[in-house]
Structure 1
Amino acid sequence: MSKELLTPDYIFEASWEVCNKVGGIYTVLSTRAKTLQEQFRDRIFFIGPDFWKGKENPLFTEYDNLCAAWKEYAASHDNLSVRVGRWNVPGEPIVILVDFQPFFAQKNDIYTEMWNRYQVDSLHAYGDYDEASMFAFAAGKVVESFYRYNLTDTDKVVFQAHEWMTGMGALYLQAAVPEIATIFTTHATSIGRSIAGNGKPLYDYLFAYNGDQMAQELNMQSKHSIEKQTAHYVDCFTTVSEITNNECKELLDKPADVILVNGFEDGFVPKGSTYTGKRKRARALKLRLASCLVGEIFSDEDTLIISTSGRYEFKNKGINVFLEALNRLNRDKNLKKKVLAFVNVPSWVGEPREELQQRMKSKETFDTPLQCPFITHWLHNMTHDQVLDMLKYLGMGNRPEDKVKVIFVPCYLDGKDGILNKLYYDLVLGSDLSVYPSYYEPWGYTPLESIAFHVPTITTDLAGFGLWIKSLKNVHGIDDGVEVLHRSDYNYSEVADGIKDTITAFSAKTPAEVREIRKRAAAVSELALWKHFITHYYEAYDFALRRAKERLLNL
């Protein structure tokens, strides 16, 4: 008989990305909020850093009446400066933004305590370590203060810390309020990402790497130390995929207690005629942009629009192998359509190109290319950019005879970039195919978002998402909406060929076949909705609450 799961009465989650959109963790938290709100209405609290004093944060709405009495108490008794409001995402959960600046004055004492109690080595800290740790500590203080003021020891409370940046909050609470059950989630080990980003082979030699030794070699001791010690000391250690769990076992010497697979909320995927209209407009805009840049007419029927996007991690995200594949595709005799490939990767962006803006505004058609006919915005470092360098190296110049044209959009698609002026989600659905050939990708939201928007995708089995797809019985390649290519430390060339061959095969599909593939892609994405994956969180809550109970008995 299955045991009854212990369920928390209150949940606190701390992350650097609460109301602060910088990466994939923002997507994890903001899409999951609605599912948890339905279950724990206003008993789940997200805690984020308050960078926005006196500035408008479009993601956060402050409400003076929320937790008003506690806020006053926290200010007078605990010297905590907090703002309480709601996160402007589906579910509108309560958010506490904390000003962590005042804690810098106690930094050395905090670090000493962390060393004495948990052997956390902050001696080699640099860069964002101090800032993250002061926020983590402040988040711990917020939960302690809230607990002391509003709750009792009969309330079952869980605190979940995301990434090394909030580890110190979990460790602080273990000592300060041992009644609270702690969960720590690493979305990618800092040392694994660093090994991969430094061009060292991660996978074939994973068994041979020593995390502590690599941290020393790569100057990552402090981040690695807080991550490792938190993983070992919390009540429940979690990660987001099997592939990252392998890293945790080898590099942190601790496997996850529960794997929290990342889900998805499809509420913002438009339906029916709204979808059709948005897709039409996105395609028209992309074709017009290409036409203005390259000086060539692109027709909707004869052009395959392909895209990749994400953080500018040239090797980790597989941007290099994508460009290599496009170069090979350009010489492929079997390619049935023109290809427009968009690289949507925020770089060190300067101004939107004025002459491109003028062309986009005019009603004319153009038959001459602009200078640099492959980039939408000028960069501060035009001569030292990895995408531009590789295009140059490969000799790809968007010439009239090239069947494959590459367009680099080096800015955040926030609707205000000066050229496209549309949000990412309003553009992604204009593609025919997306490509995410990641080398290092703990989960991989971009391919999942792509198929949710009915755009079939190509990814690899080094992404957590790709591995999950391979575990499904009925998905066998691009005809079912997702192609998962095998990727290792050393098969770059085979991956490039795999991408090329998949795009070529796709270019020969009939409109009816493409419609069917798009339908199947969307159906696969529905298997990854939070309503299916949230059960893993309930397991983690149960695990942590039982551990905390045991821990209290031993105190």
Structure 2
Amino acid sequence: MMKQLLTPDYIFESSWEVCNKVGGIYTVLSTRAKTLQGVFPDRIFFIGPDVWLGKENPLFTEDVKMLQAWRKHALEKDDLKIRIGRWNIPGNPIAILVDFTPFYTQKNDIYTQAWIDFQVDSLHAYGDYDEASMFSYAAGKVVESYYRYNLTASDKVVYQAHEWMTGLGALYIQKAVPEIATIFTTHATSIGRSIAGNNKPLYDYLFAYNGDQMAQELNMESKHSIEKQTAHHVDCFTTVSEITNHECCELLNKSADVVLMNGFEDDFVPKGAAFTRKRKHARAVLLNMANKLMGTQLDDDTMIIGTSGRYEFKNKGINVYLEALNRLTRDKNLKKDVLAFINVPGWVGEVREDLRERLDSGKDYDTPLECPFITHWLHNMSHDQVLDMLKYLNMSNSVDTKVKVVFVPCYLDGKDGILNELYYDLLIGTDLSVYPSYYEPWGYTPLESIAFKVPTITTDLAGFGLWVNSLTGKNATLQDGVKVIHRTDYNYSEVADTIKDTISEFSSLTSTEINKIRKNAANIAEKALWKHFIQYYYEAYDIALRNAAKRLSLN
């Protein structure tokens, strides 16, 4: 018989990315909100930093009437400056934005108390540690204030904190309001990301690394300390994939109580005739821009591929993608012209006026522009990893090469000055995407790709790749819609060859075979919808509530 899961009456979630779009966690929270708001209508509260003070935040609509009495109390009695309203995402959940700057004056006392209560070492803090910690502490105070004013001991309440940046608040709540059950979710260990980013082999030596020792060596002691202590002290510790769970086990000496895999909603994917129309439009925009940049006449039979994400050259596998494209230029089996995009925001300067003029002219050109690899000028044209590697590999984008590479170094927000389209509105036009990550706790980009029926290449060092392998019961292949390449610390060259061979294989498929693969890709995406993955959250709530009850009974 299944045990009855305990369900919270109220849920609070805090993250630096509430109403603040900076990375993948925004996608996790903003796509899941609709599902939870449906189950817990206006009993789920998202708490974020008020980093838009005095400016219009397009993601947040303030409602001065909402929770008015408590807000007045929070300001007058608890000294909390908060704004309450709705997060402008599907489900429109309640969002509370807190101004955390007043807490800087108490910083030393807050850190001292965290050391006394939980041995959190803030002595070695630098960079964004103070900012994140003050927000985290402020978020904890907000929840304490709300609980004391509106709720009672009979209410079952859960507080979920995301990433090391919110750890301090979770620990504060555990001590100040022990009735609240705490959940901590790490989306990537700060020390694991740092080891990988510092070009040290992460996976083969994971068993031998000591997290505390590595934190010292890489000057990460404070972030590692708050992350580790929070993981050990909360009522329920979670992470987002089996691969990151393994990392937590070795580097934080704590394995997750539940793995909360990252789902998504597919409401942004057009259906039927709209899908066909948008795909056609995207292809026309991409090909037109590339032809104007390079002075070529690529037609609709061109195979358009792409990668995207944060500019982490090694961790996101941008280097191995470029290596594969270079090898592809010499591949005799390649049946089509390939136009390969790198949609990765860099240190972007101005729009290229020469390219803008060509696009505006509506004419065809048969000569390339200067530096025919990039759509916008960078502040550091001579020190950019993508451009440096293209130069090193001697890539040319000349008319006679079958493989052309274009770097779009800006956010595709619809107003970049060259493409002027949203990321999803261009993704739909590609034939194949490549995300050969070396360090990727989950991997939203390949998941978004297959939602648009664009088959993808990823690796088994990405949580998403591992999950796909678990679905197919093997190393997934191109025919499955997701090609999962086995990647280790040392098989870079092999990975590059496999990417090259997969692109080459795709170029020779018939349209019937391609349609079947596209269908398989969409079927995998369907299995990652929140309606399937939300159950893991319900398990986490249950564990947290049971452990909190145990903790209270011991006090």
Bin the TM-score by the shorter chain.
over 0.9
Aligned to 1:395: 394
Matches within 5 A, 1:309-348: 309-348=308-347
Aligned to 2:79: 79
SS of 2:146's equivalent?
helix
Aligned to 1:478: 478
Aligned to 2:412: 413
- Counterpart check, 1:270 vs 2:270: yes
Q: Distance in 2 between matches of 1:256 and 1:474?
A: 23
Matches within 5 A, 1:354-393: 354-393=353-392
Aligned to 1:28: 28
Deviation at 1:473, TM superposition (A): 3.0
Q: Distance in 2 between matches of 1:313 and 1:144?
A: 38
Q: Give the partner amino acid of 1:382.
A: M
- Counterpart check, 1:107 vs 2:107: yes
Question: What whole-Å deviation, never above 9, does each CA across 1:363-398 have from its counterpart, x for those lacking one?
Answer: 100100000000000001111100000000000121
RMSD over equivalenced CA pairs, Å: 0.8
Aligned to 2:14: 14
Matches within 5 A, 1:95-134: 95-134=95-134
Percent identity over the alignment is 75
Q: Distance in 1 between matches of 2:507 and 2:43?
A: 50
SS of 1:522's equivalent?
helix
Deviation at 1:400, TM superposition (A): 1.6
Aligned to 2:207: 207
Matches within 5 A, 1:176-215: 176-215=176-215
Deviation at 1:278, TM superposition (A): 1.1
Q: Distance in 2 between matches of 1:199 and 1:122?
A: 26
Q: Distance in 2 between matches of 1:96 and 1:90?
A: 17
SS of 2:498's equivalent?
helix
Q: Distance in 2 between matches of 1:215 and 1:300?
A: 51
Aligned to 1:453: 452
Aligned to 2:175: 175
SS of 1:547's equivalent?
helix
Question: What whole-Å deviation, never above 9, does each CA across 1:15-48 have from its counterpart, x for those lacking one?
Answer: 0001111111000000100110110011000000
SS of 2:45's equivalent?
strand
Aligned to 1:242: 242
Q: Distance in 2 between matches of 1:53 and 1:426?
A: 31
Q: Distance in 2 between matches of 1:166 and 1:418?
A: 36
Aligned to 1:290: 290
Aligned to 2:255: 255
Aligned to 1:149: 149
Q: Give the partner amino acid of 2:326.
A: N
Q: Distance in 1 between matches of 2:516 and 2:59?
A: 37
SS of 1:534's equivalent?
helix
Aligned to 2:533: 533
Q: Distance in 2 between matches of 1:39 and 1:183?
A: 19
Q: Distance in 2 between matches of 1:25 and 1:473?
A: 27
Question: What whole-Å deviation, never above 9, does each CA across 1:177-203 have from its counterpart, x for those lacking one?
Answer: 000000000000000000000000000
Q: Give the partner amino acid of 2:250.
A: E
Size of the aligned set, in residue pairs, is 554
Aligned to 1:440: 439
Q: Give the partner amino acid of 1:383.
A: S
Q: TM-score, length-normalised on structure 1?
A: 0.99
Q: Distance in 1 between matches of 2:32 and 2:329?
A: 41
Q: Distance in 2 between matches of 1:26 and 1:473?
A: 28
Q: Give the partner amino acid of 2:228.
A: K
Deviation at 1:474, TM superposition (A): 7.0
Deviation at 1:326, TM superposition (A): 0.1
Aligned to 2:496: 496
- Counterpart check, 1:93 vs 2:100: no
Q: Distance in 2 between matches of 1:175 and 1:516?
A: 55
Q: Distance in 1 between matches of 2:495 and 2:515?
A: 26
Question: What whole-Å deviation, never above 9, does each CA across 1:136-182 have from its counterpart, x for those lacking one?
Answer: 00000000001111111100000000000000010000010000000
Aligned to 1:427: 426
Question: What whole-Å deviation, never above 9, does each CA across 1:464-497 have from its counterpart, x for those lacking one?
Answer: 0000000013784111210000000000000000
Deviation at 1:279, TM superposition (A): 0.9
SS of 1:45's equivalent?
strand
Q: TM-score, length-normalised on structure 2?
A: 0.99
Q: Provide closer, same or farther for how the CA distance between residues 351 and 64 of structure 1 changes in structure 2, counting only shifts above 3 A.
A: same
Aligned to 1:138: 138
Aligned to 2:464: 465
Q: Distance in 2 between matches of 1:270 and 1:57?
A: 27
Q: Give the partner amino acid of 2:407.
A: F
Aligned to 1:280: 280
Aligned to 2:510: 510
Q: Distance in 1 between matches of 2:473 and 2:352?
A: 46
Q: Give the partner amino acid of 2:197.
A: G
SS of 2:12's equivalent?
strand
Q: Give the partner amino acid of 1:42.
A: D
Q: Distance in 1 between matches of 2:495 and 2:270?
A: 33
Matches within 5 A, 1:158-169: 158-169=158-169
Question: What whole-Å deviation, never above 9, does each CA across 1:388-416 have from its counterpart, x for those lacking one?
Answer: 00000000121122110000000011111
Q: Where does structure 2 lack aligned partners over 5 or more consecutive residues?
A: none
SS of 2:55's equivalent?
coil
Q: Distance in 1 between matches of 2:62 and 2:264?
A: 26
SS of 1:78's equivalent?
coil
Q: Where does structure 1 lack aligned partners over 5 or more consecutive residues?
A: none
Q: Give the partner amino acid of 2:322.
A: L
Q: Distance in 2 between matches of 1:51 and 1:83?
A: 11
Q: Distance in 1 between matches of 2:62 and 2:544?
A: 31
Q: Distance in 1 between matches of 2:248 and 2:149?
A: 37
Question: What whole-Å deviation, never above 9, does each CA across 1:287-314 have from its counterpart, x for those lacking one?
Answer: 001001000011102x000000000000
Q: Give the partner amino acid of 2:252.
A: L
